[in-house]
Amino acid sequence: MHTRIETTGGDIISLFELTVADVRAWVRELSDPSAPAPDWVGALVGEEDCTLADLQRLSDATPEQLDRCTAADLGALTAAARRLNPHFFRVRVIVAEAYRSSLTSSTEPSVVS
């Protein structure tokens, strides 16, 4: 299943449904220490639960096409991605919660008795 969105700049971006194998590969990539550093701007510009890297994974969009998007374009792309991939977004929430939990537990002082 897929859908196409035309952006304000005239680009046509196709979003598609990920397979279970695609989601598993994404989770493996998250734990890969040789993975490239995160794109902090891309993480902050997108929706709260959908970064530009996520949109690239869920579509045929190039980084240049996403750079030309307006906030409204990103909102439309994210909404379509959520409709097509609820399983991806459920896993993403669990991964984000686990990550936040690991940060909290690693910064809390330990009690020695």
Q: Is the pLDDT of residue 40 over 80?
A: no
Q: What letters, b where the CB count within 10 A reaches 16 and e where it falls short, cover 53-63?
A: bbbbbbbebee
63-108 confidence digits (pLDDT tens): 999 999 999 999 999 999 999 999 989 988 888 787 777 767 655 5
- pLDDT value at position 54? 92
Residue ranges of domains in the chain: 2-107
For residues 23 and 105, what is the distance between their CA atoms, to the nearest angstrom?
26
Contact 26, 50 (CB under 8 A): no
Residue 15 or residue 101, greater confidence: 15
Q: Is the pLDDT of residue 35 over 60?
A: yes
Task: Give the long-range contacts of residues 100-109, CB within 8 A, separation 24 or more.
Answer: none
